[in-house]
């Protein structure tokens, strides 16, 4: 989703803005632009398409553009198609502004601004915000007051970076429900949507809170609350280094990140085992508190929600506590039934997903206890939840989530073991053994799965021309199928669906015709024979079947066109190596089809609008 960068300092801001925008590319965008102070005014360069189009325009129109202060933006279209005109920055002779989020009352505001004499060239809600600030600036002559008065009228979500012509060298910034950090370095200061955009220069930053207004100068950052009182901010240090946000010799971020899974599992799990037993490191979430929950709700979007499905299976099987899993965008509008006996687990890689954040806030309002599982430190979800368990996967840059999913499910296993122990559903010995599997065998199995890379590419090559592809499974294999299908379709654009194998006869089997590929995930021992029956049914209707199973699966080779053996782990842990393999198959399919693996069309990494 939209990305914001800004710099003021001793260096030319233009290359820094371009680099920052490139580092934000992964969030997804369809146009880009920059605004910098120059020649006593503000110069704006923006273009539809790739950031390189902005670079070319700068070269051809300005020869060499030099400025010590500027802002930049990658736009993911919401209001108005991707175009030069709709790209940010927007504004007037007085100011230029970049925006991430959605102004919900833009129609009403536009009407008022037209009455005040403004005209509009773009279809964006952002231009309206810029002109509202302009109106208030003209009447007050004070940037702070202009922003403050405008915030009182703006409804929706926003992170804003603003340059006022009369205040060269200063960037004004504010946010509500969209992420924005202020990063500091010896050579100047930055605003950015997230840390990877500035990691090349600094890992020190302030987190802007809702409604705070920051004034960023080359050697000073001042943050005010809405009453114009200075706020003392805590300087945070990101423990990510620049290598983590670069490809490091791999062709794509996605394959790099899949390869990081074994290490990410160890990094996430090892610190949470003490004397062989699970230790969440959350003093506020005592064993008594954990025992008090009658129900568990897991709420998330996309891949994170699929990690929640694995979590549900693990918690229900190990701890015997009933678990609901909801898509955040559904949950927030369904008038959910929650009270103090409910634990709501919120899963999010970015910690900024708009629907997931709204679901968290709603759950708190309704009196439930909220536990977030988040990858990005200091993100909104991490800060607002009652407790937060971080997944320490490092930055995930590819739009398609891979290593974040793997560590999310590992944290869910850890939690399931902890809940089971607290509720006397397993013994300490069982818990120790399960944690040993998680810490030692799981990374090894993921490592072995990575060695199947060539075999995965062969399967991808064989089925890459498919029009439709189905994934089927039962039990935890159905949870895996849902994620495998999402991974394949989002980056290869092959239409794919996942079905509970027992459901095929209730409709879907009519879609199976001669040659339709079906990937059957068969790692559940207790359900294996049932799966074979379902596989035979699709085979009888012409399907080409790939079975993904454990070594020694009886009869697999007789019924399938291809059999793919995944490294073995005890029962509920099989999703770890199985998903690594299925991620590799999705990856190679995308590469073989010539798709933009890391930045699939229409998608954004951090979905900060609902
Ligand atoms: C798909 C993918 C998305 C995200 C979803 C939630 O590969 O990455 O489905 O899982 O947008 O994002 P987070 O986890 O940041 O809340």
Q: Smallest Cα–Cα separation from 20: which of 133, 268, 8, 10?
A: 8
N residues, the chain: 610
Residues with CB under 6 A from ligand 1: 301-304, 348-350, 353, 356, 400-401, 486, 490, 607
Examine residue 417 and state whether it is found in any structural domain, yes or no.
Answer: yes
In the predicted model, residues of the chain with pLDDT beneath 50 are none
Domain total of the chain: 3
Is 595 catalytic? The answer is no
User: How confident is the model at residue 1, as a pLDDT?
Assistant: 72
Q: 134 and 111, same structural domain? A: yes
Q: 486 and 401, same structural domain? A: no
- Residue 363 Cα to ligand 1 middle (Å): 20
- Residue 362 Cα to ligand 1 middle (Å): 20
Q: 215 and 89, same structural domain? A: yes
Tokens 């974040």 sit at which residue? 404
- Beta-carbon neighbour count of residue 324 at 10 Å? 16
Find the domain containing 58 and state its range.
3-237
Q: 393 and 470, same structural domain? A: no
Tell which of 445, 462, 487 closes a domain.
445
| Cα–Cα distance measured from residue 35 to residue 4, given in angstroms and rounded to the nearest whole number | 12
What is the atom index within ligand 1 of the atom nearest the CA of 304?
10
Q: 106 and 85, same structural domain? A: yes
Structure tokens at 40: 């006593």
Report the CATH number at residue 134.
3.60.20.10
User: How confident is the model at residue 552, as a pLDDT?
Assistant: 86
Torsion sign across C-alpha atoms 139, 144, 145, 151? positive
Structure tokens at 476: 């935890």
| Cα–Cα distance measured from residue 579 to residue 143, given in angstroms and rounded to the nearest whole number | 51
Q: 298 and 231, same structural domain? A: no
Q: Are 552 and 567 in contact, with CB atoms under 8 Å apart? A: no
Examine residue 505 and state whether it is found in any structural domain, yes or no.
Answer: yes
Active-site residue (options: 2, 410, 522, 549): 2
Q: 289 and 176, same structural domain? A: no
Is 422 catalytic? The answer is no
Q: 476 and 439, same structural domain? A: no
CA angle 282, 285, 288 (to 5 degrees): 140
- Beta-carbon neighbour count of residue 142 at 10 Å? 14
Q: Are 556 and 523 in contact, with CB atoms under 8 Å apart? A: no
Tell which of 410, 427, 445 closes a domain.
445
- Residue 23 Cα to ligand 1 middle (Å): 18
Q: Are strands 156-164 and 95-103 parallel, antiparallel or unpaired?
A: antiparallel
Q: Are 221 and 567 in contact, with CB atoms under 8 Å apart? A: no
Q: Are 30 and 124 in contact, with CB atoms under 8 Å apart? A: no
- Expressed in percent and rounded to 5, the helix, strand and coil fractions of the chain are 40, 25, 35
Report the CATH number at residue 364.
3.40.50.10490
Examine residue 483 and state whether it is found in any structural domain, yes or no.
Answer: yes
Examine residue 309 and state whether it is found in any structural domain, yes or no.
Answer: yes
Structure tokens at 432: 């120790």
Tell which of 237, 267, 284 closes a domain.
237
Closest C-alpha to ligand 1, atom 5: 302
| Cα–Cα distance measured from residue 131 to residue 134, given in angstroms and rounded to the nearest whole number | 5
Examine residue 497 and state whether it is found in any structural domain, yes or no.
Answer: yes
Q: Is the peptide bond before 94 cis (omega within 30 degrees of 0)?
A: no
Q: 427 and 567, same structural domain? A: no
Q: Which residues pair with 36 in a beta bridge?
A: 43, 70
Examine residue 22 and state whether it is found in any structural domain, yes or no.
Answer: yes
Active-site residue (options: 22, 110, 432, 605): 605
Q: 258 and 204, same structural domain? A: no
- Residue 603 Cα to ligand 1 middle (Å): 10
Burial class (CB in 10 A: 0-12, 13-18, 19+), 454: exposed
Examine residue 246 and state whether it is found in any structural domain, yes or no.
Answer: no
Q: 117 and 73, same structural domain? A: yes
146-189 residue pLDDT tens: 999 999 999 999 999 999 999 999 999 999 988 899 999 999 99
For the chain, the straight-line distance linking the first and the last C-alpha, in angstroms and rounded, comes to 11
Q: 190 and 276, same structural domain? A: no
Examine residue 597 and state whether it is found in any structural domain, yes or no.
Answer: no
User: How confident is the model at residue 277, as a pLDDT?
Assistant: 97
pLDDT above 70 covers a percentage of the chain that reads 100
Q: Are strands 236-237 and 188-192 parallel, antiparallel or unpaired?
A: unpaired
């Amino acid at each position: 989703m939209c990305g914001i960068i800004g710099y003021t300092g001793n260096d030319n801001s233009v290359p820094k803005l371009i680099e920052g925008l490139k580092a934000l590319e992964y969030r997804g965008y369809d146009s880009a632009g920059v605004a910098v102070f120059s020649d006593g005014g503000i110069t704006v360069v923006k273009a539809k398409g790739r950031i390189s189009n902005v670079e070319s325009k700068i070269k051809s129109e300005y020869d060499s553009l030099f400025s010590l202060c500027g802002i930049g933006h990658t736009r993911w279209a919401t209001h108005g198609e991707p175009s030069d005109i709709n790209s940010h920055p927007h504004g007037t002779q007085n100011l230029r502004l970049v925006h991430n989020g959605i102004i919900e009352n833009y129609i009403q505001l536009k009407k008022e601004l037209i009455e005040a004499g403004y005209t509009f060239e773009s279809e964006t809600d952002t231009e309206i915000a810029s002109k509202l600030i302009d109106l208030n600036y003209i009447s007050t002559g004070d940037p702070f007051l202009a922003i403050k008065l405008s915030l009182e009228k703006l409804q929706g979500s926003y992170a804003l970076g603003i340059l006022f012509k009369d205040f060269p060298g200063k960037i004004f910034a504010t946010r509500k429900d969209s992420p924005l950090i202020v990063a500091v370095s010896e050579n100047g200061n930055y605003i950015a949507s997230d840390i990877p955009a500035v990691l090349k220069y600094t890992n020190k930053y302030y987190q802007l809170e809702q409604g705070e207004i920051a004034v960023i100068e080359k050697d000073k950052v001042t943050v005010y609350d809405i009453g114009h009182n200075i706020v003392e901010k805590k300087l945070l240090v990101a423990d990510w280094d620049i290598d983590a946000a670069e490809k490091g010799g791999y062709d794509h971020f996605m394959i790099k990140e899949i390869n990081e899974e074994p290490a990410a599992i160890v990094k996430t799990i090892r610190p949470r085992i003490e004397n062989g037993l699970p230790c969440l490191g959350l003093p506020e979430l005592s064993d008594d508190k954990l025992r008090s929950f009658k129900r568990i709700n897991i709420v998330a979007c996309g891949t994170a929600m699929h990690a929640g499905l694995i979590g549900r299976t693990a918690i229900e099987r190990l701890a015997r506590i009933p678990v609901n899993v909801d898509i955040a965008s559904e949950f927030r509008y369904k008038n959910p039934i929650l009270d103090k006996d409910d634990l709501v687990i919120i899963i999010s890689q970015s910690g900024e997903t708009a629907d997931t954040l709204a679901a968290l806030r709603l759950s708190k309002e309704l009196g439930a206890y909220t536990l977030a599982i988040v990858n990005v430190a200091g993100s909104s979800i991490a800060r607002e939840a009652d407790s937060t368990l971080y997944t320490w996967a490092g930055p995930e840059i590819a739009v398609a989530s891979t290593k974040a999913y793997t560590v999310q499910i590992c944290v869910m296993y850890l939690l399931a073991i902890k809940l089971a122990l607290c509720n006397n559903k397993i013994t300490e010995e069982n818990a120790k053994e399960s944690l040993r599997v998680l810490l030692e065998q799981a990374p090894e199995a993921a490592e072995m799965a990575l060695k199947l890379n060539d075999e995965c590419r062969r399967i991808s090559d064989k089925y890459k021309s498919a029009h439709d592809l189905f994934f089927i499974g039962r039990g935890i294999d159905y949870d895996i199928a849902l994620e495998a299908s999402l991974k394949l379709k989002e980056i290869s654009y092959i239409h794919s669906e996942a079905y509970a194998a027992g459901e095929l006869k209730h409709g879907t089997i009519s879609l199976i015709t001669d040659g339709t590929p079906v990937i059957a995930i068969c790692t559940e021992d207790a359900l294996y024979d049932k799966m074979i029956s379902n596989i035979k049914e699709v085979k009888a209707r012409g399907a080409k079947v790939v079975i993904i199973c454990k070594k020694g699966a009886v009869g697999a080779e007789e019924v399938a066109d291809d059999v793919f053996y995944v490294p073995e782990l005890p029962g509920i842990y099989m999703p770890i190596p199985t998903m690594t393999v299925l991620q590799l198959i999705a990856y190679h399919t995308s590469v073989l089809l010539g798709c933009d693996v890391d930045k699939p069309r229409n998608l954004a990494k951090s979905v900060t609008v609902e």
